């Protein structure tokens, strides 16, 4: 790709999309295109097609999705299934119909079966039952992966899917009703510290194991896929190591400086026992993560503090 190739980043204001935008800009790409949800409703196929044609987009990076944690997935199953399918299918089909040769689809490690062998390999897809607490989102993302694979198989276009592990970092969502575990913990510990180091209640037992990837590393992986023609259609993206939720909580507590008690509510669900990605396929292509969890947590908390006024508007 040339530095002036027109690249459309769907979801460019989200945590992942904005990181990709910054990364591409830092590499000298000058023709980036983004639209807010008010400017372009990705659930409308006709509008998506008209946009791709009129803008003469050459590459599409799909970082747009309706996302959230266990609570949000359980509360809004239909929206998590249908909205995500509409968004991604309109972008994939619109790109195919308008002759776009390169498409990068971003999914999630939740596409793999709940009890798949660890670490999770790409070949585990569709070999078992999904985790019930996020199956709606997972099914939507699986359909996107298979759509890209079908286009690649049938038409030979460079449509590739990247499945990240749990992402976190700057511009994350810190709304406790819809956020993922790491930003939710960070906010809880901060608020508790500000309230005199009051106890922090966390869901589950703390025993499940999770892997976390700093969002700037994810952006690097996307740009790697953008600048190279990868040999296969599906790649895991992660750091290749994990830790218990309890250990994560203790790390975040230390970064924030909270000195109160941690209370585990074992009546609440744990989710999947373990989700560690096998990242050897992408590593063999030439990419691997660089940011340690400690470094990423400090960067995230620094950003949170600098933007805390915005988060105060979103009540606990």
Catalytic residue of the set 137, 159, 168, 235: 137
Is residue 240 annotated as involved in ligand binding? no
d(CA 223, CA 160): 12
Residue at token pair 């569709």: 126
Is residue 15 annotated as involved in ligand binding? yes
Active site residue 137: yes
Q: What is the dihedral of CA 186, 138, 160, 162, to 10 degrees?
A: 20
Is residue 59 annotated as involved in ligand binding? no
Give the 3-state secondary structure percentages of the chain, helix then strand then coil, rounded to 5.
45, 15, 40
Is residue 28 annotated as involved in ligand binding? no
Is residue 165 annotated as involved in ligand binding? yes
Ramachandran class of 115: left when φ > 0, alpha when ψ lies in -120 to 50, beta otherwise: alpha
How many C-alpha atoms does 266 have within 13 Å on its Cβ side? 2
d(CA 270, CA 251): 19
d(CA 70, CA 236): 22
Is residue 316 annotated as involved in ligand binding? no
CB distance 40 to 239 below 8 Å: no
Is residue 182 annotated as involved in ligand binding? no
Is residue 11 annotated as involved in ligand binding? yes
Is residue 108 annotated as involved in ligand binding? yes
Is residue 246 annotated as involved in ligand binding? no
d(CA 154, CA 300): 42
DSSP conformation letters of 64-85: ------HHHHHH-HHHHHHHHH
Give the residues across from 105 on adjacent strands: 62, 161
Is residue 13 annotated as involved in ligand binding? yes
Is residue 203 annotated as involved in ligand binding? yes
Is residue 136 annotated as involved in ligand binding? no
Give the residues across from 6 on adjacent strands: none
Is residue 34 annotated as involved in ligand binding? no
d(CA 23, CA 220): 7
Is residue 180 annotated as involved in ligand binding? yes
Q: Is 161 exposed, middle or buried (0-12, 13-18, 19+ CB in 10 A)?
A: buried
Residue at token pair 């939507």: 140
Is residue 40 annotated as involved in ligand binding? no
Please give the annotated binding residues for NADP(+), written as ranges. Answer: 11-17, 106-109, 141, 164-167, 180
Q: Catalytic amino acids?
A: 137
Please give the annotated binding residues for substrate, written as ranges. Answer: 188, 203, 210, 270
Please give the annotated binding residues, written as ranges. Answer: 11-17, 106-109, 141, 164-167, 180, 188, 203, 210, 270
């Amino acid at each position: 790709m040339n530095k002036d190739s027109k690249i459309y980043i769907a979801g460019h204001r989200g945590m992942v999309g904005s990181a990709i935008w910054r990364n591409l800009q830092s590499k000298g790409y000058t023709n980036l295109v983004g639209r807010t949800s008010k400017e372009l409703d990705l659930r409308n196929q006709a509008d998506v097609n008209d946009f791709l044609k009129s803008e003469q987009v050459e590459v599409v990076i799909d970082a747009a999705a309706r996302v959230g944690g266990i609570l949000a997935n359980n509360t809004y199953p239909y929206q998590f299934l249908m909205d995500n399918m509409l968004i991604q299918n309109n972008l994939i089909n619109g790109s195919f119909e308008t002759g776009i040769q390169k498409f990068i689809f971003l999914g999630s490690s939740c596409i793999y079966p709940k009890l798949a062998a660890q670490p999770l390999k790409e070949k585990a897809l569709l070999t078992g039952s999904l985790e019930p607490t996020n199956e709606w989102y997972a099914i939507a993302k699986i359909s996107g992966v298979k759509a890209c694979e079908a286009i690649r198989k049938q038409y030979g276009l460079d449509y590739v899917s990247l499945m990240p592990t749990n992402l976190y970092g700057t511009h994350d969502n810190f709304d406790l009703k819809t956020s993922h575990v790491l930003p939710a913990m960070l906010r809880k510990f901060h608020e508790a510290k500000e309230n005199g180091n009051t106890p922090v209640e966390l869901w589950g037992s703390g025993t499940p194991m999770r892997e976390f990837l700093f969002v700037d590393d994810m952006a690097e992986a996307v740009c790697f896929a953008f600048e190279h023609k990868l040999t296969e259609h599906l790649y895991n993206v992660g750091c290749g190591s994990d830790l218990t939720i309890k250990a994560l909580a203790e790390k975040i507590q230390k970064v924030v400086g909270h000195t109160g008690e941690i209370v585990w509510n074992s009546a609440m669900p744990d989710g999947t026992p373990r989700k560690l990605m096998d990242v050897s396929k992408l590593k063999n292509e030439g990419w691997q993560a660089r940011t340690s969890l400690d470094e990423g947590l400090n960067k995230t908390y620094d950003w949170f503090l600098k933007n805390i006024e915005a988060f105060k508007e979103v009540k606990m």
